[in-house]
Chain A
């Protein structure tokens, strides 16, 4: 009814039309005015975001119980499990802040997408086992009514880790329980995969089940769709500041400790100087390769070196290249994800004899992580020779394309950081996985959600992955990092 009266008022009947043409431009404006008025009514009605002073629809809410910094697979996984495990339903307001809504530099979508169970640290194996279970039942976990089921294009082809004489002893000590792995001698390897040159290989470890590769973009979109249907808010912005308060407290032994608590997160909107202070109770740092910078904003690492206040979060950006090549005589459909003793890896991609692969550079040849430009000479010098030596068919290949992505590299021990910070008591970490974050994301998300909601780890005990190990110096070294 309101609309009809407005229409009447504007049109003013046939007489009004005549007068309008004299004024010139009023009739042409009418459609534009109509859509503006429609927008205004829509924002005033309940359910719209009407602020009498100015439009705030692009800003995040003024307060949120949990703020997750970073909207990649780890951040969305934490958001999903927080909403799934919360009691009662709808109790927690979760805000995910992601500054790059196209995910153009996010490690998740640039990843090769492999998942394996062959680790030397038992917690890593448990994390991967749960994650593969999650992926297998993904349509039960991430089902949204009226939407088509997800197909993550999982290739269950397994991982083949090759070891030289030196690495053979370490490989035998890999965790056996839970992982269906069979150890093969060079003779058996030649029988199974005749296209491999077994020179220099002392032992091979082949994962027969629960290993392979999948499409990370599909997992990300599935998680995003599901968490939006569960009521998680998204904001396109960047976290620029944390407002916190500190309390000087005494521990049981009489030592004085300065405990900090973050009260507000300043979220700056893209391409604007505008920011919104979001009051929060808990902040989760899932910013991937940029987690170190976010931790510095919270004051982690500002103190005399050697103390707990002075221990920084040792997560840095590291650039890694991935190359896609075509080789018509290459290995066939049965090709697993092969990892050479030299660190070079490759896997089959599709049905057309295309392969994806790369190599992690050594510390000395680390490329500059300022941009995502690809160095093609790296392929010629460091990736191709070991590949051609291991698989003779790869002597003739043609590189089709290449891209670069970031590792959230943990310089301490290349394993993830999970759990709260001992001094900034309401910041939780879910980062630093150095290249195997995607395959452990569902399990890590659940662990962090349990820590936030219950205060301790319930299903998988990740206490060896806490932040305090950086201060106490206990490394959780994983021997099979590529």
Chain B
């Protein structure tokens, strides 16, 4: 039975329906820290409490177990939530290097600013990769601009009636396709590229696109899938295998693509029940061949289907 029915029958204090079990557990985890913090003192003047120099002096002079004496300042508060989430998902935050940076950033404004700067740089790098090439669009047309965009990201393009164009090991590609202004792009292989919601602008201009491969793209999520509907009349093949941010909620908006004949939704870690999702997507797109998880994946075996123990009694 799907997890949603069990989740619905468990009535929480103020919110009954739950999408997935993990959302419910996440919500419970989030609910408790606020209650715990209410007990501590949620009226702490946070500006006053963040007295860094005094804290560092105290930490240097006292042994580590006295840290809980000065816990209720804002660091303790957020570390409370972070601490709880570390219990829930330990694999992310227990790396030695990360915790050292965290430790220093909690105590020094400079390290905190440096960490924020590094994070912002990472985000802006993805933005920069997804910028639209308006000058190429004006000069050579949307097909060439879209092809240039994909090739610059490291993907491959195929124009109608031609061979695949790929960048080489160093990321360089020949600019011969600049003369193919009137030839539509038929297939795009953007596997592993850093394409995101903004970057899809360049792809959506390719009106005769027949085949789109978005395997293992780290920034393609449910919002991007909701943008694919302008390609409905031409798109016949779509592959989303291995995208970490795509869930069943984004797959629900693929029903606009009525011309789709092949869909690959295997290996999506964010989908809560892969087998059930595959069945529902097949019902939603009746004329499409869906490659996905096995239907029985995620189902518990019944008593008669339990694998037999090989070391059983010897038959008479």
Contact = CB atoms under 8 A, between A and B. Distances in A.
**B contact patch SS:** helix
A130 to B, nearest CB: 15
Interface in B98-154: 102, 105, 112, 115-116, 119, 123
Given A47-B48, A47-B49, A351 B277 contact: yes
Given A147-B81, A157-B249, A350-B17, 6 more contacts: A49-B41, A60-B43, A153-B23, A209-B229, A356-B17, A400-B8
Contacts of A332: 280, 283-284
A59 interface: yes
Interface stretch (A230-238, A255-263, A306-314): A230-238
Contact of A229 (B27, B54, B74, B284): B74
Interface in B178-228: 197, 222-223, 225-227
Contact of B41 (A57, A106, A144): A57
13 contacts: A46-B51, A47-B49, A49-B41, A156-B222, A156-B226, A217-B15, A221-B34, A236-B38, A333-B251, A334-B255, A351-B273, A356-B17, A403-B16
Interface in A89-125: 90, 93, 101-104, 106, 109-110
A154 B223 contact: yes
A156 B225 contact: yes
Interface stretch (B85-93, B159-167, B235-243, B301-309): B85-93
A146 B112 CA distance: 11
Nearest to A111: B15
A268 B43 CA distance: 14
A229 B46 CA distance: 8
A59 B41 CA distance: 9
Contacts of A401: 8-9, 11, 16-17
A324 interface: yes
Contacts of B30: 218, 221
Interface string B270-311: 001100110011011000000000000000000000000000
Contacts of A348: 252
Nearest to B48: A47
A354 B13 contact: no
A198 to B, nearest CB: 18
A102 B14 contact: yes
Contacts of B272: 351
A226 to B, nearest CB: 10
Contact of B197 (A58, A136, A144): A136
A208 B232 CA distance: 12
Given A47-B54, A145-B116, A400-B9, A109 B14 contact: yes
Given A140-B123, A228-B74, A352 B5 contact: yes
B8 A334 contact: no
Given A148-B92, A333-B280, A158 B253 contact: yes
A155 interface: yes
A156 B5 CA distance: 22
Interface in B1-59: 1-5, 7-9, 11, 13-20, 23, 27, 30, 34-35, 38, 41-49, 51, 54-55
A321 B208 CA distance: 47
Contacts of B93: 146
A145 B16 contact: no
Given A109-B14, A235-B43, A350-B19, A333 B248 contact: yes
Size band of the B side of the interface? 35 or more
Interface of A: 38, 41-42, 45-49, 57-61, 90, 93, 101-104, 106, 109-110, 136, 140, 143-148, 151, 153-158, 208-209, 212, 215, 217-218, 221, 224-225, 228-229, 231-236, 324, 326, 332-334, 348-352, 354, 356, 400-401, 403
Given A228-B77, A351-B2, A110 B41 contact: no
A234 B249 CA distance: 35
A269 B2 CA distance: 44
Given A102-B14, A140-B123, A234-B42, A349 B19 contact: yes
A445 B27 CA distance: 24
Contacts of A110: 14-15
A233 B45 contact: yes
Nearest to A56: B43
Contacts, number: 189
Interface of B: 1-5, 7-9, 11, 13-20, 23, 27, 30, 34-35, 38, 41-49, 51, 54-55, 69-70, 72-74, 77-79, 81-82, 85, 89, 92-93, 102, 105, 112, 115-116, 119, 123, 197, 222-223, 225-227, 229, 248-253, 255-256, 272-273, 276-277, 280-281, 283-284
A153 B223 CA distance: 11
B73 A47 contact: yes
B16 to A, nearest CB: 5
B49 A156 contact: no
Nearest to B42: A234
Nearest to B273: A351
Contacts of A236: 38, 42
Select the residue from B16, B38, B102 with max chain A CB neighbours within 10 A.
B16
A90 B47 CA distance: 8
Counting from the closest, the 8 A-B pairs by CB-CB distance are: A156-B226, A350-B4, A352-B2, A352-B4, A334-B255, A231-B46, A155-B249, A333-B280
Contact of B54 (A46, A106, A155, A356): A46
Contacts of B13: 102, 104
Contacts of B11: 401
Contacts of A155: 222, 249, 252
Contacts of A59: 43
A269 B178 CA distance: 71
Contacts of B115: 145
A332 B283 CA distance: 8
Select the residue from B1, B35, B49 with max chain A CB neighbours within 10 A.
B49
Contacts of A148: 85, 89, 92
Nearest to B88: A148
A477 B66 CA distance: 61
Nearest to A59: B43
A144 B78 contact: yes
A57 B283 contact: no
A342 B301 CA distance: 45
Nearest to B271: A351
Contacts of B227: 209
A93 B119 CA distance: 28
A42 B256 contact: no
Select the residue from A49, A157, A352 with max chain B CB neighbours within 10 A.
A352
Contacts of A38: 69
A113 to B, nearest CB: 10
Contact of A154 (B5, B116, B249): B249
A61 B44 CA distance: 9
A229 B116 CA distance: 14
B253 A156 contact: yes
Given A47-B70, A333-B283, A145 B226 contact: no
Contacts of B44: 49, 233
Contacts of A47: 48-49, 51, 54-55, 70, 73
B280 A351 contact: yes
